[in-house]
Amino acid sequence: MSSGATPMMAQYLALREEAGDCLLFYRMGDFFELFFDDAKKAAAILDIALTTRGEHNGAPIPMCGVPVHSAESYLARLIKGGCRVAIAEQTETPAEAKERARKEGRASKALVARDIVRFVTAGTLTEEALLEPRRANVLAAACAVRGLVGLAACDISTGRMELEECAPDRLGAALARLGASELVVPDGWELAPDGSIARSGHEFSSEGGEERLKVIHGVATLDGFGTFTRPMLAAAGGLIAYLDHVGRGALPLLLPPEARRGEATLAMDEATRASLEILESAQGGRRGSLIDAIDRCVTGAGARQLAEDLSAPLTDRSAIAERLELVEWLHDDALLREDLRAALRSLPDVGRALGRVVAGRGSPRDLGQLRDGLSGARVVADRLARRDDLPVLFETLLPDLGGHGALVDHFERALVPAPPTERGQGGYIAEGHDAALDELRRISGNARRAIAALEAKYREETGVAALKIKHNNVLGYFIEVPSRHADKLMEADSGFSHRQTMAGAMRFNALALHEEASRITEAGAHALAAEEAHFEGLVAEAVAARREIARTAAALARIDVAAGQAERAAEGGWTMPHVVEGLSLDIEGGRHPVVEAALMAQGERFVANDCRLGTHDRLWLIGGPNMGGKSTFLRQNALIVLLAQAGGFVPAKAARIGMVDRLFSRVGASDNLARGRSTFMVEMVETAAILAQASEQSFVILDEVGRGTSTYDGLALAWAVAEAVHETNRCRCLFATHYHELARLAETCEALSLHHVRAREWKGDLVLLHELAEGPADRSYGLAVARLAGVPPKVISRAKSVLEKLEKGRAETGGLAAGLGDLPLFAAAQDAREEQCDTLRDKLREMDVDALTPRDALEVLYDLKREAGTEP
């Protein structure tokens, strides 16, 4: 490159502008090259050498590159690093470029045409190397229509698509459930979360979205798929337009959309999901999360389905019962469970193989995976069909498992047992499937034998024993002899023609060799073309049956989830919960699945505890020392509810759970500095959401409300929140606190009961029993916990003396909560305060300030202080 705009530079810059905010992979031969700032950014992320190539505007051009054959591994690292990549491929060969230039009358060297063929983004991946096998990869779009938010989400690696509508204040919870890799929104949308991809608002048209869905699925109406609102269809329009953009007009696999009703699943906001560590631990990653502790699926598709179940537990009792019946059936029949798990373990990921095939990125190996997966599904169906005690859900799944007979038989005849991942070299169509292809292969495959025979013939004719027939990519086949024997082949009537002189050797051609080479090359090319035609035919069969294949993949995943849940239950002594109507939450011997697994790994035992909430005992106030197990107890009961409504067994001796509509967890908090919120602000925002949204059917766990501010403020807030939960929300709630003073609430709140985690001090040491007992905690054991944490003895001793003085002062004044027992409940207290304020306002309004003497003004101030309850 020179300082001027060379043709290649002009081509590159045009494509770079088209790539927008994506890195540009510019194909040059066997490499994808990156230039300018793209090269600097990619080199830093990939840890590869940054070089230069030529100049532009008088400055060296930064450059780096990656080999085309290993590009996927580099793309994976770039995507993980938050990049998006535009792939610019060569759209013609050098020979085609040369011929085009000749026809255009240009004698100069022809520039190979290039075009962006695809955008690689986090939400639009299909390649195995770029996807996590056990995690769905969701792309979502959101927009607002007439005051409501529409959401469209799909996983293009499997084709599943769902549409949803929600209120603007529920958008965060919906997005937290989806866990989308990318979110597409209209440009300038005020509700757009940080990191969203903005697109033209014209793409988010409900009419356009509806029409695109009709065309994609070949229907005149969407009524057969469900009922979709205008916000849903507008979001679908934005999603499909984005897929059009990244695929350059080639859409991936999209199955018929499913309408999701918010009330059909247990609602959880973002804070609750993070607190309960459902799919990801607080430290990040799967390790230490709920799914990590319970996932016993043997397939990636099963693990993805389990994650979806845990993200959106059901609120339909009959649907929950069907899942539980299936888990119970497999739990009680260990031999059948193991047979099914063994069969599933050997199966490929049918759904993702189908996604690649439909998206036009499939390989012969993907077709082989469809064949093997569908064949394995028939084996599973045959195994189940012999049973006469199938659960309802199995009977529903069975038809989706046993089909595809003709397609499987055809694929088994057409494909070799282990097809390759690349189709450019052929070799994936089975011998005997096509007689003409077999003959072409025979001709091509006999090349070594034919060439060897010709070589022997030429040696005999020339008398040159050192004569050899060789091949390279430039000359093709040629004859080579040492220079000292070249004269015999240079004779006019020898039948050989000179091609190239080398140091110590000369190369020749011959008519017979040329004819044999042409025959071999032509046969090989025809064989590859024949295999390609067969490949396209098999792909067309798979695409035509995509919906049925997708249902088979979903059925296999559901069976894997049920078998895995049954395996986990048998392994841990879990029990089947009973999800019932009403407001009970009766859990006997409940355990925290993650904590128990961690303790077992260390050879320790988890202490189980009961939880018995009901209409007349719906709010438990739980005290006791830090590290005593309060937070664990709160979370374990929330997780048991979640597991039960997801349709799985639970870690308990018995569980009877009244259906929960919304689950809230405010346990622990941290700064959110990005939003300008302190720990206490985060705590209050989460608490406010609970008080505003929890219904009688909700389940709430609250831990240490008010601890982030002063003692008096904190106690006042905790007191008022507990009253509000009891009187206004009237939901089932576990409320852990260190404020002993809150025990006074039991005197006025009839549905509140007091409990504590037990602890004992023995010879100066604190013994945490991790057992829950009735009644208030006698104290917090804060100094004992500090001693356990390693606080120096001198500091502990000083704290003890300060505590003694504080407790003495509390005893003399009636304590921190003196007089709180006389307060009316939440609403009444508020009314009294407002009445007092009204009286003071009236007096101030009637007062003639200008007529007051200084002494009169002083007396008025004293009167006001007395009426406010503060003596001068």
Give the residue ranges of the annotated binding site for ATP.
624-631
CB 315 within 8 A of CB 641: no
C-alpha distance from residue 758 to each of 475, 588, 598, 622, 768 (Å): 87, 18, 22, 11, 7
CB 8 within 8 A of CB 97: no
Residue 353 CA to residue 158 CA, distance in Å, equals 8
CA-nearest of 737, 612, 701 to 276 is 701
Residues of 99-118 as b/e, b for ≥16 C-beta within 10 angstroms?
Answer: eeeeeeeeeeebbbebebeb
**Residues 681, 682, 684, 685, Cα dihedral to 10°:** 110
Half-sphere exposure of 367 (CA within 13 A, CB side): 34
Give the strand order in the sheet containing 258-260.
Answer: 197-199, 182-186, 139-145, 148-155, 160-166, 258-260
Q: Point out which residues pair with 150 in neighbouring strands.
A: 143, 165
Residue 689 CA to residue 692 CA, distance in Å, equals 5
CA-nearest of 592, 589, 557, 591 to 277 is 592
Q: β-strand 662-666 against 267-268: which pairing, if any?
A: parallel
CB 574 within 8 A of CB 646: no
Q: Which residues are annotated as a binding site?
A: 624-631
**Residue 493 backbone dihedrals phi, psi, to 5 degrees:** -100, 20
Residue 773 CA to residue 848 CA, distance in Å, equals 61
Count CB atoms within 10 A of the CB of residue 87.
21
Q: β-strand 160-166 against 148-155: which pairing, if any?
A: antiparallel
* Rounded to 5°, angle at Cα 136 from 133 and 139: 135
Structure tokens at 235: 């979001």
